[in-house]
Structure 1
Amino acid sequence: MRTWSDSPFATVTEVSSVTAAGERLGEGFQSRSVERLTSHPGWVAKYYRDPLASPDVAALDRLMELPDAMSAGELETLDRSTAWPVSRLTDGDRTVGVIMAEAPSGFYVPFNLRGGRSSEPRELQLDHLINDSDYLTRLGVRPPSRQRRHEITCGFLEVGVVLERYDVVYGDWSYRNALWDHGSGAVFLLDMDSCGIGTRPWIASPNWTDPAFPEGSELTAATDRYRMALLCLRCLTGTRGEPLDSFDVLVRDWPSGDGLTHLLHRALTTTDLTQRPRAAELLDVLRHPGPARPAAHVNPGSNVTSFRPVGRARQRPAARVAHVPPPASPHPPTPGPAQAPTPASTPGPASFQRPRPATTAQKKRLGGKPLPWALVLPLLLIAAAVIGFLTLPT
């Protein structure tokens, strides 16, 4: 396995100094081809459709240098689970591509073909994971267990935690760019060279569209929080489609406490982008199931202050929310001064009340000594008579 840490390349590599195999592994909106480097086994070259503009070159350089600032644990996550860019491919003064590590062999499996034949090993994508067991069995892939789905989801969130910690916006969470290893539960993200720091240009991700960001707008960490929550929901349940349609399956099959359900529900439905949970919150509740916790405000990302629904999000019926169980009580508040209790017979909401004098029966329950009125009354009458006699004129 090749990684950013063991890269043999300089920051800039002349395209003529490497040899590509000529076998196209893939292509995308930004790239015309991705090919293995026969001159450097374990590495691939991604060739851009058009040379990068100066701002994009500067952004790519910042990405390549970013791991230098990471801790050993963060770098280990990055090396293990991402195709992080290691070198710009140049043709003279133009940046025409980038070099990244190839996904390890565990992320490739042969698929069943018609006639009992098998294909050459192909990428095992998130697209395959988000399906039911029958589909995977027909494909020739061993269906992941519940525990394996949990491990895969945590793996993706671990990457998300590192990216968010350094304000890296991936944005391209999708069915094709995320790979998984059905044997070990490992994960691998592709196309990391397109990440931005703070923001990144719009990129279309069919069926992963964040309703808060209209087409063409710059994406921020808030979009990653939305798409990571959606990825989490789909990985665990193996279902796709409208996000809220998967909550019934999540509640049925993942009885891990209200915390997970309500964090995901909040991430996908809140109109306040500061309320979208961080990847670290999702990862924590997956590893330590428990009741729902109070929401924490987070930075929604650059220049994003409101929620603008677009597309089908406006048409979601409110009744779908009813399938999510009510949140458990949050952590108890800090104790304060005691308030007088409101009598049970008092109508209306609880409010501050003046304390009523304790009755004789209450005093007896509290250990007090009530006054002996049968004895006191005659003494009062005698005292009044004496006072009256003394005040008579002589």
Structure 2
Amino acid sequence: MSADDGQDVPRTSLVLRDRMGSGGQGDVYPVEGVGDLLFKEYKNPHTVDQAALSVLPAFRQSLAAADRARLDAVAAWPLCRVTDGGRAVGFLMRRAPDRLTWQAPSGRTKLLELQHALHPPKAGTRSVPQPSPEQRRALAAACADAVDWFHGAGMVIGDISHANILWSLSPEPSVHFLDCDGFRRVGGAAVQAQADTPDWGDPLTPPSQACVDSDAYKTALAVVRLLTQDPYVTPGATLRLVPGCLNDRQESAVRSLFQQATGPRGTRPKPAEWRNALSDRGTIQLRATTPRQRPAVDTSVLDGIRNRKPIPLRGR
């Protein structure tokens, strides 16, 4: 059983190993006998919007094969709901690949969160591979590109922060999103009430009203905090970029876009503008004349037209 078909799985069919993590909204358990699958179980499932949660695995099912592969590469996406007594109590997702982890001095394997690229290494994090200036630029571009892809697919991310983006330098600089049950369709409901990570909130948008514009603001924070190795810099502040990460053209564009991010809603730079500014092109096209091709989405699946007959895990 791979959960790849998106159908609901009964909670009673799961054989779980010891809890591996706990957050404000749920606990995460490895699933016995099914490879790299993890189960996130909500602490209070009665606060879960059942329909909103069903949208997420349906979104993945709606994608063409190439786009589905890209989604799996950039996100720990909900593969299917897990139900108990007819109510969703959590979901299955894949474990982050080993390239997105690091080994602490204690020998424990930990996730390589964005915060480890924003803070200078300390005694306990000296084994974290530090990106070169060029790799910082590539990571920032990868982050902007991923947000742009989700927006093109009609999704809002919501809580973009140092804690829910993983990164890797091998085989090339890349990012990977966590807590993907916080995503929602544009204009759609959230699975649960969403809170902003401290120091990452949009001053013009409350968490309950997360939208592509608040995503744009937080993308600006992620990009520039990577380029400055400053976890607290905000639009309007003086930028001290890591030496060597940008050429003159890129630096000029980044400074201009970050200043633009201080503006009112609707005027913040789009993620694609950050991607273009950080590219190796000789010129920057801030407003693309040819729209980027959007992921192919089967909207009938997104609207919930599907068979959700539970399927067992045991013996498969």
Same fold (TM over 0.5): yes
TM-superposed deviation, 1:50: 1.3
Instruction: Indicate how the Cα distance of structure 1 residues 161 and 295 shifts in structure 2: closer, same or farther if over 3 A, else same.
Output: closer
2:73 corresponds to: 80
The reply on whether 1:129 has 2:122 as its aligned counterpart is no
The corresponding residue for 1:206 is: 198
Partner of 1:30: 25
Deviation at 1:76, TM superposition (A): 2.9
Shift in alpha-carbon separation, 1:66–1:126, aligned structure 2, 3 A: same
Say if 1:202 and 1:218, in contact at 8 Å, map to a contact too: no
Output one character per residue of 1:224-262: Cα deviation in whole Å (capped at 9) or x when no partner: 111111101111221122314864213865334222221
Q: Kindly indicate whether residue 11 of structure 2 is the aligned counterpart of residue 15 of structure 1.
A: yes
TM-score with structure 1 length normalisation? 0.65
Amino acid at match of 1:194: G
Q: Per the alignment, do residues 280 and 50 of structure 1 end up closer, same or farther by CA in structure 2, a change over 3 Å counting?
A: same
Mapped contact 1:106–1:181 kept (Cα < 8 A):
yes
Deviation readout 1:101-156 (Å, 9 max, x if unpaired):
110011111123xxxxx331111111111123x54895222321112222222222
Counting only pairs closer than 5 Å after superposition, residues 96-245 of structure 1 correspond to structure 2 as 96-112=89-105, 118-132=106-120, 134-135=121-122, 139-184=126-171, 185-199=173-187, 200=190, 201-214=193-206, 217-244=208-235
SS in structure 2 at match of 1:85:
coil
Residue deviations 1:266-324, cap 9 Å, x none?
12x012x111122122112211455676669xxxxxxxxxxxxxxxxxxxxxxxxxxxx
Instruction: Provide the C-alpha distance between the structure 2 equivalents of 1:10 and 1:143, rounded to a whole number of angstroms.
Output: 37
- The letter of the residue matching 1:29 is G
Aligned with 2:214: secondary structure?
A: helix
* Preserved contact between residue 228 and residue 242 of structure 2 (Cα < 8 Å): no
Kept in 1: contact 2:194–2:208 (CA 8 A): yes
RMSD of aligned residue pairs (Cα, Å): 2.6
Greater than 4 Å deviation, 4+ residue runs: 244-247, 289-296
Q: Identity over the aligned pairs, expressed in percent?
A: 26
C-alpha displacement of 1:28: 2.2
Q: Is the 8 A contact 2:276 2:284 kept in 1?
A: no
Alignment length (residue pairs): 280
8 Å contact 1:167–1:221 — kept in the other structure? no
The one-letter amino acid paired with 2:102 is V
Task: State the structure with bigger RCO (CA 8 A, min sep 6), 1 or 2.
Answer: 2
Partner residue in 2 for 1:39: 33
Larger radius of gyration: 1
Unpaired runs of 5+ in structure 1?
113-117, 297-394
TM-score, with normalisation over the residues of structure 2? 0.79
- Aligned letter for 1:186? S
Q: Is the 8 A contact 2:276 2:285 kept in 1?
A: no
Structure 2: stretches of 5+ with no match in the other structure = 289-316
